[in-house]
Amino acid sequence: MNKKIKIFDTTLRDGEQSPGCSMNLKEKVQMAKQLERMQVDIIEAGFAISSPGDFTSVRTVAETIKESVVASLARTTKEDIDRAWEAVSVAAQPRIHTFIATSPIHMEYKLNLTPDQVVEQAAAMVKYAKKYCGDIEFSAEDATRSDPAFLARIFSEVIKAGATTINIPDTVGYTTPDEFYDFLIKIRELCPPLDHVDISVHCHNDLGLGVANSLAAIKAGAVQVETTINGIGERAGNAAMEELVMALATRRDIYKAETNIITTEIMRASKLLTTITGVKVQPNKAIVGENAFAHEAGIHQHGVLKNKETYEIMTPESVGLTKNSMVLGKHSGKHALRSKAKELGFDLTEEALERAFNKFKEIADKKKRIYDGDIEALLSKEALQVPRTYQMKSFVINSGNSITSTAVVEVIKEDKTIEKVARGDGPIDAAFQAIGKIVGRNLKLEDYQLHSVSEGIDALGDAFVKITSNGKSYAGRGLSTDVIEASIHAYVNAVNKMIYEENKTNGV
Ligand code: KIV
Ligand code: ZN
């Protein structure tokens, strides 16, 4: 019988804290729902004490998710554990994940604690957390640069205090597969109580070995692996979930292990994350990259046409990759859009579906062919919609190569029309300056991207905007066959997300 490997996903915690990957509340909830849909065993929803916004997100994810365990990270202090429990106690299956560093360099320079103090604090805080929650994970930060005998000692103490999962992270991405395998076998020998709890690993990717190290750990007895979608995370990221899951599924003959993950949901999870963060995966990225299943060389194409297995070790369908087929047209009704939304896994309110349908009709009038990708872009935008404090009403742009661009933008706020004029460095900048004047705040443009969703001259433009205000980033998206209109929608969407997020954090 194959052994079962639990997937602990930390996209919303370790992933989210990496540069450019921040998400707002609504986005985290959508991402968590997708993780639940793909049957992730444990979702680490955030680090509750780190900010009021993080606390609200962990708590909302905990309220929403029913099938997966929901965890919050906490340092080994009472304040952290209290806050983590306050956030996850509402979950159907809560977990407190507490950690302290165990390597000599971290204990001396970061914690300023002796090894004895670290053991004492870890055991006391696991015991404290256990009063709240049966499911306690303990992590020894920087474990791979720690003394195995010291790890065995601290693990014995925290297991005695009630830890049910022991996580052994390669925090700095330093180890290698052979070394990690031997290291884990040694710790297991030195610490027999590990046989009675779940052994977990959490591998960073600084040497590009995150997945390889996790696979070696499975061979050494790990039954939980911590991953992120698209491998996002601190520095070079974390082990990528899609790679680990597909390696186990494809090489079951070697690992004799399997996960609960519905692999056909992988592509959707990857795309949703890209849509939310604007952080694209490289085209040649394993499993989810644009070229992962493309066969360019003639000799390869020839082979694949005759027998797919000549060059394909797994099928595109197994990771949820479908052809960009033409699906709906100008004459399709709301019912067809609703069933398409269902088929694509979007969980939309009636109001969001209505908005998506109106937009769909608008696009169908301008565009000859509507592809799956267009519908997916439209639906994912509506699924992530926040209250529309500002709505774009109209715009006029005056631009050329011998004049300074000018934009007149009209928006509606609480039934009132507000109009502002601004000049800028090109039409997009002018339009963004005009919106900035309307909002009356100092907004900094951090990122702006424009892509076409499908092919052809009438392709849908998908604009992505990231703005910063008071040190926080907010991302927005806009879709239109007109790229300036898409960009204005994206900017207004980012402003609305900023207002929504600020209101939520202030309890408005
Ligand atoms: O990399 C790490 O060590 C972590 C721990 C908090 C699990 O993220
Ligand atoms: Zn980490």
Paired with 72 in beta bridges are: 46, 96
Give the Cα separation of 191 and 266 in Å (integer): 36
**Which atom of ligand 1 lies nearest, measured to the CA of 142?**
3
What digits encode the pLDDT tens for the residues 175-188? 999 999 999 999 99
Task: For ligand 1, pick from 12, 201, 202 the residue to mutate: most ligand atoms within 8 Å of CB.
Answer: 202
Return the ∠ at Cα 425 (arms to 424 and 429), rounded to 5°.
Answer: 60
What pTM value is reported for the model?
A: 0.88
pLDDT at residue 65, as a whole number: 98
Are 151 and 124 in contact by the 8 Å Cβ rule? The answer is no
Please give the domain boundaries of the chain with CATH numbers for all domains.
3-277 (3.20.20.70), 294-383 (no CATH), 391-505 (3.30.160.270)
Give the Cα separation of 447 and 467 in Å (integer): 7
Cα(99) to centroid of ligand 2, in Å? Answer: 11
Task: Give the list of residues 6+ apart from residue 400 with CB closer than 8 angstroms, or none.
Answer: none
Cα(261) to centroid of ligand 1, in Å? Answer: 23
Quote the mean pLDDT of the chain.
93
Give the Cα separation of 116 and 465 in Å (integer): 50
Task: Give the list of residues 6+ apart from residue 396 with CB closer than 8 angstroms, or none.
Answer: 407, 408
What digits encode the pLDDT tens for the residues 329-384? 778 888 888 888 877 777 788 888 999 898 888 888 877 777 778 888 888 888 88
Cα(14) to centroid of ligand 1, in Å? Answer: 8
Tokens of residue 178, six digits: 């052979």
Pocket of ligand 1 (CB under 6 A): 14, 99, 139, 141, 167, 169, 171, 202, 204
Using CA positions, which residue lies closest to atom 2 of ligand 1? 171
Q: What type of residue sits at position 414?
A: E
DSSP code at position 238? B
How would you list the strands of the sheet with 390-398, edge to edge? 390-398, 405-413, 416-424
DSSP code at position 368? S
Ligand nearest to the CA of 99: 1
**Which atom of ligand 1 lies nearest, measured to the CA of 14?**
8
Give the Cα separation of 437 and 134 in Å (integer): 53
What digits encode the pLDDT tens for the residues 12-71? 999 998 888 989 999 999 999 999 999 999 999 999 999 999 999 999 999 999 999 999
Are 167 and 201 in contact by the 8 Å Cβ rule? The answer is yes
**Which atom of ligand 1 lies nearest, measured to the CA of 204?**
1
Cα(293) to centroid of ligand 2, in Å? Answer: 30
Given a cut of 70, is residue 304 above it in pLDDT?
no
Q: Rounded to a whole number, what is the largest CA-CA distance in the chain?
A: 77
pLDDT at residue 327, as a whole number: 66
pLDDT at residue 324, as a whole number: 56
What digits encode the pLDDT tens for the residues 440-491? 998 999 999 998 887 777 788 899 999 999 888 899 999 998 999 999 999 9
Using CA positions, which residue lies closest to atom 1 of ligand 1? 171
Cα(165) to centroid of ligand 1, in Å? Answer: 14
Give the Cα separation of 293 and 470 in Å (integer): 42
Cα(141) to centroid of ligand 1, in Å? Answer: 6
Cα(71) to centroid of ligand 1, in Å? Answer: 13
Give the Cα separation of 315 and 465 in Å (integer): 34
What digits encode the pLDDT tens for the residues 87-105? 999 999 999 999 999 999 9
Ligand nearest to the CA of 101: 1
Given a cut of 80, is residue 308 above it in pLDDT?
no
Per-residue exposure over 283-296, b if at least 16 CB sit within 10 Å of its own CB, e if not? eebebbbeebbebe
Using CA positions, which residue lies closest to atom 8 of ligand 1? 14
DSSP code at position 144? G
